[in-house]
Amino acid sequence: MASDRVILKSGRIVRGGTSEMADVVVCDGKIVQIAPEVAVAEGDKVVDCTGKIVVSGLVDLHVHLREPGFEAKETIATGTAAAAHGGFTTVCSMPNLNPAPDTVEHLQVQLDAIKRDAVVKVLPYATITRERYGRELVDFAALKPMVAGFSDDGSGVQSDDVMRAAMAEAVKADAIIAAHCEVNELLKGGYIHDGEYAAKHGHKGICSESEWQQIERDIELASECGCRYHVCHISTKESVELIRQAKKRGVKITCETGPHYLTMCDMDLQEEGRFKMNPPIRSAEDRDALVEGIKDGTIDVVATDHAPHTLEEKSRGLAGSAMGVVGLETSFAVIYTKLVREGVITLEKAVELMSEAPRKIFNLGGGLCEGQAADIAVFDLEAEFDVNPEDFHSKGRSTPFEGWHLWGECCLTMVDGKIVWQR
C-alpha cells in the first residue's frame, strides 16, 4: 500500500529546553506524531536519524538575499539553498534592495521572486522609511500583513522625531521595529573596530559609541511609545548592559548577535576583506560580554547577518572591501563547536537561540510538535568538517571562519514536509 509518510527514526529530539529519543512522523506537510517508537508501515519513507539530533528548523532573522537589484551578489535561489544547507527553514530578508520594499508594489517584486525560487520560507522586512533615507515613513498598515517587520538595515534612523513617529506607527499596526543602530556622525570614516588591531596596523576605527548611543536613544523611545523593538547585530559590551537594564524596566525589547561576534575579537583580524562587516568584530572584552548576555538571557537570538558580496568587492583588504560576510552555512556548527562543545551553553540553549526564540519573538508559529508544519532540521553532531567556501551554496564566499575545523553538520532540512537538503 502506498504511503506519503516520512518517519525520522531514532533521533534525539531537542525542543523546549529538553531532549528525548523519539521518532517523528511527517505526513501531508505536517508533523503528525512524535513518539518513542513508531511502527513502520509498507510504503513509509524512513530516514535513519540514529546518533543525530532532530530540531525545529532554524530561523535566521537577519539575512541579505540581494534580490531584486543585486543578483550578482546573491539570488533568492542561491541564498535559500544556502539556508537549507545550514539547517534553516525560515529566513527574514533585509530591505537593502532595488527597488527597496517601501511600498506594496515594490515589495511585490521580491515576493514574486520568493514564490518562484525560494526553497525555504522567506519573510521580508519592509523599510521604515522611503528608500531607507531616514526621512519619510512608509505605510505601515498597508505593508504589515506581508512582512516580518520593519527595518532600515544598513542605515540607522538618525532623526529622533522620525524614529518616534515610526514606533508610534508600528504600535498602531502591531508591528515590530528591527533596528540597525548606528550614529552616522560618530563613524568618521572607520571600517573596523576602534581598538588594538586598528591602532597597531594604522586602520580607521569605528567607535563602540556609534552603536550603543543609538540603542540608548531607541530604548527611551520604545519605552515612551510601547513599541516592540528588536535590536539587530549588537556587538558592544555597552549595548548588552543597556538592553539588560531595559528588560528589567519592562521595555518591550529583544536583540540578536552573530556567531562572529561571539567567537572572535579584533585581534583575530587579518588583512583580508572576509573579516570586514558592520558592525565590526570588537574587543575580547566585548566578545565576553556578549557571551555573558547569551548565558543570562539578555541576548535572545543568534542571527547571521548573512551578507554576500562578489569576489571582487571583497578582495580589496580591510580598508577597501565591502561590508558584510556570509554565515548561513556555518552558523549552527560555529555555535555548536565554540559554545556548546566548550561547555559555555547547552545544546538546548543553542536550539532556543537559533530556532525557538526567533519564532516566538516574531510570532512565526511552527515548532517541533504535533500539528505544526514539518519544518525540521537534522544535525550530525559528530560530523567534522573544515570550512571551505568552495563548498557553499551561496554565491558569497567571504567568511571569517574559512579554514576553521567544526563539528555539527546539517544532514537533512525539511520544509513543509519536503526534503530540501540532504547530505
Return the DSSP state at 373.
Answer: B
**What are the φ and ψ backbone dihedral angles of 421, each rounded to 5 degrees?**
-155, 135
Beta bridge pairs of residue 129: 137
Q: Is 356 exposed, middle or buried (0-12, 13-18, 19+ CB in 10 A)?
A: buried
- Grid cell, residue 196, equals 588594538
> Residue 117: enclosing H or E segment and its boundaries?
helix 104-117
- Grid cell, residue 220, equals 527611551
Q: Which of 23, 194, 305, 375 is catalytic?
A: 305
**Cβ–Cβ < 8 Å for 275, 251:** no
DSSP readout, 329-367? TTHHHHHIIIIITTTSS-HHHHHIIIIIHHHHHTT----
Distance (Å, rounded) from C-alpha 319 to C-alpha 20? 49
DSSP readout, 260-275? HHHH--GGG--SSGGG
Distance (Å, rounded) from C-alpha 377 to C-alpha 336? 14
Q: Which amino acid does the sequence have at 171?
A: V
Distance (Å, rounded) from C-alpha 229 to C-alpha 103? 22
**Cβ–Cβ < 8 Å for 106, 130:** no
Instruction: Establish whether 305 is a catalytic residue.
Output: yes
The angle subtended at Cα 65 by Cα 61 and Cα 325, nearest 5°, is: 80
Return the DSSP state at 88.
Answer: E
Residues with active-site annotation: 305
